[in-house]
Amino acid sequence: MHRIRLLTLILCAALAATLLTSVTARADAHPRETGRTVSGPGTPRAEVGLDPATGTPTLAVTRQGRTVLEPSPLGIVTERADLSTGLTLTGRTDREINEHYTTAAGKDRTRSVRMHEARFRFRSTATGARLDLTVRVSRDGVAYRYTLPATSGNVLGETSAFTLPGDAAAWLGAYRKDNENLFNGYGATAAPTGEYMMQGLFRTGSGDGADYALIAESDLSGSYAAAHLTHTAGSPTYGIKLWDGTPIQTSGTGTLTTPWRAVITGDLATVTQSTFTDDLAPASRVRDTSWIKPGKALWTWLAGGRAAGQSLEMQKGYVDYAAARHWPYTVVDAGWYFDPAQWDVTDPDWQQNSWIPELVRYGRERGVGIHVWIHHRDLDTPEEREQWLPTLEKWGVKGVKIDFMDSESQATFQWYDQILAATAAHHLLVNFHGSTIPKGLQRTWPQVMSFEGVNGEEKKTNTPQHLATLPFTRNVLGSMDFTPGAFHKPDRPNAGSDAGELGLTVLYESGIQNLSGKPGSYDARPVARTFLEQLPNAWDETRLLAGAPGESAVEARRSGSRWFIGGTYAGAARTAAVPLTIGHGTWLVETVTDTPAGLVRTPHVVRGGATLSVDVVANGGFAAVACRWYAGRTDC
């Protein structure tokens, strides 16, 4: 009996060892069927290359057999090792990632994440230094990042780059520290020498065989600095530059994992509807999110300027107007704390001199929350944050609009780490201006309602082409505070189309949709005012209906059972054909369009999947709302 038990134990141990060896082999060896390929069902295919002569790693991306990225350089250089050449591949492990999460703001409320991940382990033949490359593929993208041991030293730069097919088209914005520049169209190879924002869109192929690639980054924290693109005219390759070239300071006490370099890819609808940069980011660090409520806001800067920010009575008038529209917020911009006689911070009771608590009380009685603008320089130290944030929370302020960071350095992202944790702790919604762009931060810190990072409504340099490019570039990456609705501005590029301006309130997603018109400008356009009163505070689903970068964009966003549609067009007047791909059945669609007599609301009964015809003026657009039709229904 003991011999039988002993034999059984030996056999079980042998079987366990065999199974363990088998699992390890599958994880560490290079499977014959995949080699250095990373792919999953229905995903693009990423191919990690390694030049046998130089030991230089590359990454290529294909989709359905078509080239999205040619073999593109990989690598990172530290003060102790050049990990871009002379490498050997020593192992590989694979795993599947399946996650589900919800968001307060964004293009879709509920998200499902399915990715295949492969981790490649490299070693320098010259120094023995180690480098891990992690590659993820999803239905809508390919991403990679590096992991280095603590002994690697400070990072001097990356050799990471993206090489496009020679005939690719590009839509790029010249880089500036607040990401506020126009997007323009180029040939990818012919684009001028220069630096470009890390949100470059590329098209390869044409017609039904066209693929798009939007280059971005995700999961960026104070352990690193933001990157942007560099290009030399005549080359199909776009390199990576870290902020201003300053070395990344590492602690030396743990491994360094870099941000994801992401390529959102697919057809234009897949790219536009993608949540890939959020999907790559860490899960929410805010446990109780019940206080996080997105919504529309009457933003008073373009409506009244600094004078409005200095006047309690004017602000009360804005609260009354927002309350009548059922808009949940107003935003008090610059001016409210810049009176030296009012703000003597050496006075222990300096906070009591503000009229903001009175405005908060007034708004609360009318169902309107108050957000306040504040300069970054007043929150850039722990002492200042401890002075301001608990005070604003005590007053009952709902959110802060923080402005003028004007940097994407490692030190600035360390500040982002601190201010994000602090605003969450004090239950303050956040809108960053003069800032970086989302980079996945809205998943990790869901109190972040929006970022500027866009050449928005305040600017006088916008073009119709820029308006028609933003839905395919900047707004793909997360909420964008363009601040639409400024009907009173004569210098807007769609100045001849109030319907086009109205459509931007749907087309451009923002957790806080700051409506920038004057109350009188809404009252003068009752059709627009009624539409804005119907506009939801958040979206459940987003679909691209039509468009092409720089030419036009039409998106539908669902809230409950209703769809809202916004469209913008660059160029001549036309009758636009919009595929109504919002579901089967019959829909009542109320369009808002321009006529010589002003805005007109027109009902249409349309079958799902059919084409909706909409008259659009030159450099104009339209807005619409759609609901299920039944006999006798005349409005949504």
Can you state the percent helix, strand and coil of the chain, rounding each to 5? 25, 35, 40
**Burial 403-427, CB ≥16 within 10 A → b, else e:** bebebbbbebbbbbebbbebbbebb
- Active site annotation includes 541: no
Quote the CA–CA distance of 516 and 144 in Å, as a whole number: 39
From the list 140, 279, 403, 594, the catalytic residue is 403
Cβ proximity of 578 and 507 under 8 Å: no
**Rounded to whole angstroms, how far apart are CA atoms 528 and 503?**
10
Q: Is 458 a catalytic residue?
A: yes
Q: Are 50 and 74 in contact (CB under 8 A)?
A: no
In our burial notation (b when 16+ CB lie closer than 10 A, e otherwise), range 340-366 reads: eeeeeeeeeeebeebbbbebbebbeee
Lookup result for tokens 């042998």? 14
Predicted local confidence at residue 304, as pLDDT: 81
| pTM, entire model | 0.93
Give the pLDDT of residue 515. Answer: 97
Query: Topology of domain 296-342+350-539, per CATH?
Result: TIM Barrel (3.20.20)
Residue 345, C-beta contacts closer than 8 angstroms, at least 6 positions apart: 387
DSSP 7-33: HHHHHHHHHHHHHHHHHHHHHHS--TT
User: With a cut of 50, which residues of the chain have pLDDT below it?
Assistant: 1-34, 340
| Helix, strand or coil, per DSSP, at residue 328 | coil
Q: Is 98 exposed, middle or buried (0-12, 13-18, 19+ CB in 10 A)?
A: exposed
The pairs formed by 47-50 with CB atoms below 8 angstroms and a separation of 24 or more are 47/71, 48/74, 48/118, 48/120, 48/133, 48/135, 50/87, 50/88, 50/89
Catalytic residue among 82, 380, 406, 458: 458
Measured CA to CA, the distance from residue 281 to residue 115 in angstroms comes to 13
Q: DSSP secondary-structure letter at 248?
A: B
| C-beta of residue 398 within 8 angstroms of C-beta of residue 392 | no
Contact 323, 367 (CB under 8 A): yes
Helix, strand, or coil here: 121? strand
CATH of 34-280, one of 2.70.98.10, 3.40.50.2300, 2.60.40.10, 3.40.190.10: 2.70.98.10
Contacts of 49 (CB under 8 A, 6+ apart): 36, 57, 58, 59, 60, 71
Quote the pLDDT of residue 351.
Answer: 59
Instruction: Give me the pLDDT at residue 251, please.
Output: 83
Query: Locate tokens 């539908």: which residue?
Result: 556
- Cα–Cα distances in angstroms (integers) from residue 559 to residues 471, 539, 542, in the given order: 19, 5, 9
